Amino acid sequence: AQKVTQAQTEISVVEKEDVTLDCVYETRDTTYYLFWYKQPPSGELVFLIRRNSFDEQNEISGRYSWNFQKSTSSFNFTITASQVVDSAVYFCALSGHGSSNTGKLIFGQGTTLQVKP
């Protein structure tokens, strides 16, 4: 069975601190996709990143970076120099891979990040 675990329910930091959100996944698929989404207080889901399972390169996008480690089944997300606007719920998700896959997403329970000024 596929499963995504975000063990941190809530994290509170002060602005400009770095913060890492953890994501651990379980799957029997040999190829898969991993995602991160942001859900601000307004409620919509904002896509942040998609990572293929066969690409273990870490990625950086501005203040955001992602560390994918297949050996530990983890896909952690780091925000550098956090800002108040980063306050949101962050979801990690998993889906299958390949043209015949239905692309159903399995979500973690989310981590609420509060960045205080």
Partner 1 sequence: NAGVTQTPKFRILKIGQSMTLQCAQDMNHNYMYWYRQDPGMGLKLIYYSVGAGITDKGEVPNGYNVSRSTTEDFPLRLELAAPSQTSVYFCASRKQGLAGVQGQFFGPGTRLTVL
Q: What is the binding site for partner 1 (CB under 8 A)?
A: 4, 6, 33, 35, 43-45, 47, 50, 91, 93, 95, 99, 102-105, 107-110
Of the pair 35, 68, the CB lying nearest partner 1 is at: 35
Strand duo 10-14 + 19-21: pairing: unpaired
User: Dihedral of the CA atoms 17, 4, 26, 30 (nearest 10)?
Assistant: -90
Nearer of residues 47 and 71 to partner 1, judged by Cβ: 47
**Euclidean distance between CA atoms 68 and 84, whole angstroms:** 26
The total of other beta-carbon atoms located within 10 Å of residue 33's CB is 18
Q: Report the nearest approach of partner 1 to the CB of residue 43 (Å).
A: 6
Give, in order, the Cα–Cα distances in Å from 86 to each of 4, 68, 70, 98, 105: 22, 21, 27, 33, 23
CB of residue 35 to partner 1, shortest distance in Å? 7
- Compute the least distance from the CB of residue 109 to partner 1, in Å: 5
Closer Cβ to partner 1, 50 or 63, answer by number: 50
Question: Which residue lies nearer to partner 1 by CB, 52 or 69?
Answer: 52
